[in-house]
């Protein structure tokens, strides 16, 4: 089965920017649905923005993106990358959650249209996936 990964940044709306309950709700639904759909990935939140990577089969990713685009807890979804991948970065996680590392904070502070953003995002995901694999 071909695997794909989508990485995006979005703006959290209202309570979803800081609230614990919306966060728990999002992680809970992600965990439940992504197990069902064999999707894996990671979600981070920093200063009112979400940074998420999801990986899996094309049809499941497209279905998820359809739900994400109508979710009013965030807006302005900016796809940083969407393409085939040789393997998953977060194989053990239906939806991992992590604090934003300094490199992500720096990336979000800059312009997302900067040509270096793709490489930055990839680096961040590889580093975080290694850190997560080390503690499990």
Ligand X SMILES: Cc1cc2nc3c(=O)[nH]c(=O)nc-3n(C[C@H](O)[C@H](O)[C@H](O)COP(=O)(O)O)c2cc1C
Question: Where on the chain is the footprint of ligand X (CB under 6 A)?
Answer: 10, 26, 29-30, 33-34, 43, 50, 52, 54, 64, 67-68, 71, 73-74, 95
The least CB distance from residue 37 to ligand X, in Å, is 7
Question: What radius of gyration do the chain's Cα atoms show?
Answer: 14
Nearer to ligand X, 22 or 120 (CB): 22
- Whole-number Å distance between alpha carbons of 96 and 43: 6
Longest dimension (CA), the chain: 38
Asked whether the CA dihedral 24, 131, 133, 114 is positive or negative, the reply is positive
Asked if residue 50 lies in contact with residue 75, where contact means CB atoms within 8 angstroms, the answer is no
Taking the least distance from each CB to ligand X, the nearer of 74 and 88 is 74
- Please, which residue, 50 or 117, has the CB nearer to ligand X? 50
Shortest CB 2 distance to ligand X, Å: 19
Which residue's Cβ lies closest to ligand X?
33
């Amino acid at each position: 089965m071909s695997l794909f990964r989508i990485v995006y940044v979005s703006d959290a709306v209202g309570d979803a920017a800081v609230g614990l309950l919306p966060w728990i709700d999002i992680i809970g639904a992600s965990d439940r649905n992504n197990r069902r759909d064999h999707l894996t990935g990671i979600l981070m939140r920093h200063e009112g923005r979400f940074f998420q990577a999801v990986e899996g089969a094309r049809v499941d990713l497209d279905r998820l993106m359809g739900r994400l685009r109508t979710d009013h807890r965030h807006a302005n979804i900016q796809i940083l990358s969407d393409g085939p991948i040789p393997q998953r970065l977060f194989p053990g996680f239906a939806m991992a959650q992590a604090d934003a590392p300094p490199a992500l904070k720096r990336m979000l502070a800059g312009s997302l249209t900067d040509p270096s953003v793709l490489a930055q995002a990839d680096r961040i995901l590889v580093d975080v996936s290694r850190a997560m694999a080390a503690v499990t």
